[in-house]
Amino acid sequence: MTSTVISILAVIGIGVTAYCVWRAIISARTPQGAVAWTVFLVSSPWFAVPAFLVLGRRKLRDYRAEWRRSREIVRGFGPDGASRLPQTGKRAALTALERIGGLPFAPGNQVQLLVNGDATFDAICAAIDDARTTVCVQFYTIRDDTIGRRLSEHLVRAAKRGVKVRTMYDGVGSQKLSNRWVRALEEAGVVVLNPDQARGPTSRIEINFRNHRKTVIIDGVIAFIGGHNVGDEYLGRDPKVGPWRDTHLEVRGPVALQAQMVFAEDWHWASGEALGDELDWKPPGHAVPGTGQIAALVPTGPGDEMDSGTLMFITAISAASERIWIASPYFVPDSDILSALIAAALAGKDVRILLPEAIDHYLPWLAAHAYFDQVRAAGVRIMRYKRGFMHQKVILIDDDLAAVGTANLDNRSFRLNFESMVFVADTGFAGEVEEMLRADFEQSQEHEIRLQDCGYRIRYGAPVARLWAPVL
């Protein structure tokens, strides 16, 4: 290699490094983050530049304009949807949640908890069998196993009787999905979005930003949203994983239409196809003002102008006057969420974090131990679920606000993944969530061990794993 070529490559390398440093400076959330990336990029550019290109970006800037276009197109199909906030002390929080998600709280919803996989997939398959016009399916993970083939059979039958069925899945979460599963649907007339041919977070190319939503919408009237993906382990059938604790929602009413709008946004962004004439956008006939439960879907993601995932959690935590219970499979909070939880506990509020004792992803499980001493010192109770793996994503605020959906208590859900949470402002539903979580607490043990008293693996590994918190 001549000296001229070497010089050219050196200049290119310096230019790329300088560009990455500039992007880190203008995009990092904190000065500390900007300094950390700058030092890494300058000291080890051959390692740092590829890492920054994959992990360093906080927003999908390249796609934001197209995302806005998708949202404008889809919102043009749906009803305007006037906000109907209840006269409670949480009006300010509900207003903030509306502005974060861009969708209004509306009455007339019928929200039902679906506890664990059998209840969830029995309800989903029954609704697909009753579908008259459309079925929209979106999961982060779909497997070609027993439950995956069961779902496929119901979708195929729906398509063969004339129902328009569309299915999309995440290219990374479903990377092991067989071509056989896809072909069976396509041969029946189901439209399946191929992640290899998609753009944005559905594509396998966009590694760091994922579409983590798990939604099924029937006729624009019924929606299923929650923690379950499509795989046998989500029904506790994998002997390596054991029992699986998860929660989904069945929602009938205006929130189902909101879920359909979000699906259409994701579909248009990934494929460029608008679904205006393909879906029913009329409000459900039974959604009578003043009846049913007041609820709203709060979608969040890196395409938003603000850190909507973080703001959603902070808004919920700040709304509490007495109680904050959060169930999540992972606990890797950023400094904002950490401070909000600590401040709430110091104010005397009942703050509990329900986490699994079992491990499915080792690094975030290990990193969580680095936060326990700090939050426990403020009065936060850490409950470790011991009856199998717990994967649900649930928030309970006082006695009148609860949420179920897909967002974990970690940085991926705060900033990197596209998520959806259904917030329900209803004392009856909040009571059902409380009863469910109390049953989970009975299957849990409070974590009271200090980090310094843990084994060597956790004591020394947790602080190191915490360094990876921004991408866990």
Query: In angstroms, rounded to a whole number, what is the distance separating the alpha carbons of residues 250 and 395?
Result: 17
Catalytic residue selected from 214, 228, 268, 369: 214
Categorize the per-residue pLDDT at 200 as very low, low, confident or very high, splitting at 50, 70 and 90: low
Is 393 one of the annotated active-site residues of the chain? Answer: yes
Calculated CA dihedral for residues 87, 92, 98, 101, nearest 10 degrees: -150
Catalytic residue selected from 212, 228, 248, 369: 212
Categorize the per-residue pLDDT at 204 as very low, low, confident or very high, splitting at 50, 70 and 90: very low
List, for residues 343-363, the tens digit of each pLDDT value. Answer: 999 999 999 999 999 998 899
- Rounded average pLDDT over 280-293: 65
Average pLDDT, the chain: 87
Rounded to two decimals, what is the model's pTM? 0.89
Query: In angstroms, rounded to a whole number, what is the distance separating the alpha carbons of residues 126 and 117?
Result: 14
Three-class secondary structure of residue 262 per DSSP: helix
Is 238 one of the annotated active-site residues of the chain? Answer: no
Is 219 one of the annotated active-site residues of the chain? Answer: yes
Is 212 one of the annotated active-site residues of the chain? Answer: yes
Is 214 one of the annotated active-site residues of the chain? Answer: yes
List, for residues 49-72, the tens digit of each pLDDT value. Answer: 777 776 665 555 555 556 566 666
Is 170 one of the annotated active-site residues of the chain? Answer: no
Catalytic residue selected from 170, 304, 398, 440: 398
Instruction: Find all residues with CB under 8 Å of 208, minimum gap 6, and list them.
Output: 54, 55, 57, 416, 471
Catalytic residue selected from 219, 266, 304, 334: 219
β-bridge pairing 244-245 and 401-405: unpaired
Query: In angstroms, rounded to a whole number, what is the distance separating the alpha carbons of residues 472 and 333?
Result: 10
Catalytic residue selected from 154, 393, 410, 440: 393
Q: Does pLDDT of 220 surpass 90?
A: yes
Catalytic residue selected from 228, 349, 369, 391: 391
